Structure 1
Amino acid sequence: MILEAVMLQVKTGLEVEYEEAFREASSIISSMKGYISHELQRCMEVEGKYLLLVQWENLEDHTIGFRQSNEYQEWKKKLHKFYDPFPTVEHFEKVKLS
């Protein structure tokens, strides 16, 4: 399993509209092969800042399966207009501690 982590900055004044658009777009990502779960967190200190966490079975399910799909084009259409600056996506794997 891998964790996709994205720090998002939504344009000022569009937070309510963004959250509604994200609710609608959630069905897109959750239908993808390799998808496990996702959550959107709102920052308490910085207005318009969000953290998106998505769990995927493997890296390729996100980078190829989702990002190269028609569904991703719909995701982009619904959500990318809200971001400034455009977010950086990073992927993490759990560190085995024992």
Structure 2
Amino acid sequence: MILEQAILDIIPGKQQEFEGAFKQAQVIISSMGGYIDHQLQRCLEKDNRYLLLVRWQTIEDHTLGFRKSPEYQQWKALLHHFYDPFPEVEHFQCCGVLKQV
């Protein structure tokens, strides 16, 4: 399992519009092969900052399967114009150190 992480800084004043567009866009990403789940969290300190976490089966499911798909063009059209600056996306893999709460 791979965890994709992106900090999304949204143009100030566009947060509600972004959240509406994301509701549409999440239907796209959740239909992709290798997709497991996702969550979008709004920052408490900076109300125009969001954290997007997406779990994929493999990194290729994201970087090739999703980003090279026609559906990605729809995702891009819905969301990319809200970002300032454009987010850096990183991928993480579990290193086996887990603590049960």
TM over 0.5: yes
- Structure 1 segments, 4+ long, off by >3 Å, are none
Match of 1:45 in 2: 45
Rounded Cα–Cα distance in structure 2 between residues aligned with 1:97 and 1:91? 17
Match of 1:80 in 2: 80
Post-superposition shift, 1:57?
0.2
Residue aligned with 2:68, SS: coil
**2:93 maps to 1:89:** no
User: What aligned pairs does 1:1-98 form with structure 2 within 5 A after superposition?
Assistant: 1-97=1-97
Rounded Cα–Cα distance in structure 1 between residues aligned with 2:89 and 2:53? 10
Residue aligned with 1:5, SS: strand
Rounded Cα–Cα distance in structure 2 between residues aligned with 1:49 and 1:60? 27
Deviations 1:5-38 (A, max 9, x none): 0000000100000000000110000000000000
Post-superposition shift, 1:47?
2.0
Rounded Cα–Cα distance in structure 2 between residues aligned with 1:41 and 1:82? 16
Rounded Cα–Cα distance in structure 2 between residues aligned with 1:97 and 1:25? 33
Unaligned runs of 5+ in 2: none
Post-superposition shift, 1:72?
0.2
Identity over the aligned pairs, expressed in percent? 57
Post-superposition shift, 1:95?
1.2
TM-score with structure 2 setting the length: 0.95
